[in-house]
Every structure is written in structure tokens, then in C-alpha cells.
């Protein structure tokens, strides 16, 4: 499944899932002094961006070292995306990450795995390995997706107060439905390439 800049941006934004991170981001940041919240949020977004860019540029070498094919990566990435999408649709309270209490978060869990999680890493690696000649487009799409995610995290408390918890939850479930379709398409594309092309 080939991507355009817009489809790559939408895919990365869905797997970053900034709205889905709000219920986790808000309680973590409550223990951070208000004067440092913006700096902490920007730092975590920057770390997540660096991790995903590294996966983009080192993805092809990683595949060669591990002797993995793009077809297997596409199917595996689709399966991971499908699992994330199902978690988004059938979300439960409390989240899935152990949250640090009484201290400022550093890398875990905001940058990794909340933003730069397995699904985002697989998506970045897959984009770069499938169409390496368009690396600048993928980096640009990642920059835009990270900018949106950073803005959502910075404005999380205002968003929650403005629209309410129920609307945030409904939007997350809608994003999960879209991500489910993308995940199924990735799996089908990988299987098609596996059965139609020689190993």
C-alpha cells in the first residue's frame, strides 16, 4: 500500500493518538509544576520525534541485518495497528502504562511508549522501507503529526474542559475505527505481496 504525504500524515497522526493520550497525560502532568509543564511536554514530543526519525532512517538497515522482508514488516505492522485500534475502540479506564507518581516524567511513559510506541515505530519504519525515495515527505508528515500531537498535549486541559470527557472518548473511538481499516489494508497488502511475489 503506497502512501501520499496526506495519507502518511493521517496514518502517523492516528498511531500517535494524541487524543487517546489525554487521559494519561493529564494525571501525569498534575504533579509537574505549572511553570514546567510546557517545557516537559515539548521535551517529550521532541524525544518521541527523534526516536521515530531514527526508525525512518535506520529502518532499511535494520531489515537487512535482521533479514526481514518488507512483506513480513507490513503484516506485522498491520497486526500491531489492529491491536492498538481495538484498544482505542474498547478503551478501559486506567490505561496500560505504569505511571510515575510524584516525579517529573522523563522519556517513559509520555515519549516512549505513549507517542513513539510500537505501532508508530512500525509505521515509520514501513513508510521509509516501502518508498525510501520519498524520505523528505515522510519526515515532513512526521513533523506535522508531531506538531499536532504536541499542540493537543499542551492544550489538553483546555480541550477536556471545552468538549468534555465523553466527546474526547467518542473522537478516540472514531479514530480507532479509521485505524482499524488502515491496519486491515496493510495486512491484506502484505499478504498479497507475499503470495504474488517470489521470496
Give residue limits of the domains in the chain. 5-196
180 three-state secondary structure: helix
What per-residue confidence (pLDDT) applies to 162?
86
pLDDT at residue 100 is higher than 50: no
pLDDT tens for 103-158 read 677 887 788 877 887 778 888 988 988 888 999 999 999 999 999 999 988 888 78
pLDDT tens for 31-58 read 778 888 889 889 999 999 999 999 899 8
Global pTM value? 0.76
* Cis before 113? omega within 30: yes
Question: Which residue in the block uniquely carries the three cell numbers 511475489?
Answer: 197
Amino acid at each position: 500500500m503506497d502512501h501520499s504525504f496526506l495519507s502518511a500524515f493521517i496514518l502517523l497522526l492516528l498511531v500517535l493518538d494524541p487524543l487517546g493520550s489525554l487521559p494519561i497525560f493529564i494525571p501525569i502532568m498534575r504533579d509537574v509544576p505549572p511553570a514546567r509543564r510546557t517545557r516537559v511536554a515539548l521535551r517529550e514530543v521532541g524525544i518521541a520525534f527523534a526516536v521515530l526519525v531514527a526508525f525512518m532512517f535506520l529502518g532499511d538497515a535494520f531489515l537487512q541485518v535482521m533479514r526481514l522482508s518488507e512483506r513480513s514488516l507490513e503484516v506485522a505492522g498491520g497486526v500491531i495497528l489492529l491491536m492498538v485500534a481495538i484498544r482505542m475502540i474498547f478503551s478501559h479506564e486506567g490505561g496500560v502504562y505504569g505511571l510515575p507518581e510524584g516525579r517529573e516524567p522523563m522519556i517513559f511513559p509520555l515519549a516512549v511508549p505513549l507517542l513513539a510506541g510500537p505501532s508508530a515505530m512500525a509505521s515509520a519504519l514501513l513508510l521509509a522501507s516501502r518508498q525510501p525515495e520519498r524520505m523528505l515527505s515522510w519526515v515532513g508528515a512526521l513533523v506535522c503529526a508531531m506538531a499536532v500531537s504536541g499542540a493537543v498535549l499542551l492544550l489538553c486541559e483546555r480541550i477536556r474542559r471545552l468538549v468534555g470527557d465523553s466527546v474526547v472518548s467518542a473522537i478516540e473511538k472514531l479514530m480507532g475505527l479509521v485505524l482499524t481499516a488502515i491496519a486491515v489494508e496493510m495486512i491484506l497488502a502484505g499478504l498479497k505481496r507475499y503470495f504474488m511475489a517470489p521470496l
